[in-house]
Amino acid sequence: MSGELVVVTGGSGFLGAHCILALLKEGYRVRTTVRSASRKADVLAMLKVGGAEPGDALSFAVADLMADKGWPEAMAGCAYVLHVASPFPAGAPKHEDDLIVPAREGALRVLRAARDAGVRRVVLTSSFAAVGYGKPQPAGVPFTEENWTDPTGRVSAYVKSKTLAERAAWDFIATEGGALELATVNPVGIFGPVLGADHSTSTLFVQRLMDGALPGLPRMSFGVVDVRDVADLHLRAMTRPEARGQRFLAVAGDFMTLQAIAQTLKARLGKAAARVSTRTLPDWLVRIAGLFSAEAAQVAPELGKVKNATSKKAIGMLGWAPRSREDAVIATGESLIRLKLLKTSK
């Protein structure tokens, strides 16, 4: 049982809450940052769904990524930081800076506060978005941690925000970090058990499928990983000496088409997935929809693209062992049913 203090930024989020659960299970004390003290009850409710009653092992600090106030107090006395907080809306923002500035400036604000407080290591939650976009990959060659997204390419504001934030973090460590260490975790689409009504964009996709809100699916694919395994990888990257200065992709097997995700739900969840559509939308229809919908416009550039990524580095270096992609998808659906977050739930 460690007893060391770990700061988790964004504890009211899907991944942040699972990181807190993983840390508490390993005996760490946790201090989580929230933008408003009113979110404390939300965090505690999510942890309770996850099976934890943390008591004195969990404390809160109010701090915003866009302001210096509160960060020195948040970092005081902690050994490690998991910087999970970053904006990730379902739709496109009105201006890309609405995402880019909080992501980049927030990361730098957290790193400065951590350095000044004598923190040993920060694990930054980056994304596959910072790895696999903006330039073509040779056919059949999976993306690895050596790849970087080209933010000057045709990429969404979210992709650009994650890329520029991670680049800024590594530049900070190289020039101003002092003794502070950094590792990043770069997950693909995060699925798995939701802990409340406020969950991730990836799990929202499953919810919309199961509610019958998606009558057809674009011809595209993305990676899948379980949120519990992403949290586990954060802990491994936090403490393993060999993780210092490293990036780690988090993906469970090959990428899945949206149709394969839908078929998995229908095959394993029976009547609960009766509203799930497996119909493929023609590319031209999605592109036309993109003229009127910001969400469809973000999808259009990825139509028909075949991508893949590998987690061989995390598996080989850190002994990471993720659940299957199918189990991650099903865990999402089962939790939505259990928490009565579907129109089909009774």
Residues involved in catalysis:
162
Contacts of 309 (CB under 8 A, 6+ apart): 128, 131, 132, 142, 143, 144, 188, 223, 249, 251, 255
The pair of three-digit structure tokens given for residue 186, joined into one six-digit string:
């770069």
Angstrom distance (rounded) from CA 326 to CA 37: 37
Angstrom distance (rounded) from CA 47 to CA 43: 6
SS3 label, residue 29: strand
Q: Are the C-beta atoms of 102 and 140 separated by less than 8 Å?
A: no
Q: How does DSSP classify residue 62?
A: E
The pair of three-digit structure tokens given for residue 139, joined into one six-digit string:
């056919």
For residue 247, report the phi and psi dihedrals to the nearest 5 degrees: -100, 145
Angstrom distance (rounded) from CA 62 to CA 70: 6
Q: At what angle do helices 157-176 and 97-116 cross, to 10 degrees?
A: 20
Burial class of 75 by CB neighbour count within 10 A (0 to 12, 13 to 18, 19+):
buried
Instruction: Give the residue among 69, 4, 67 at the shortest CA–CA distance from 31.
Output: 4
Tokens 């259990």 sit at which residue? 338
Angstrom distances, CA of residue 69 to CA of 64, 75, 77, 142, 176: 8, 12, 17, 42, 21
SS3 label, residue 125: strand
Percent helix, percent strand, percent coil in the chain, to nearest 5:
45, 15, 40
DSSP symbols for 256-270 = EEHHHHHHHHHHHHG
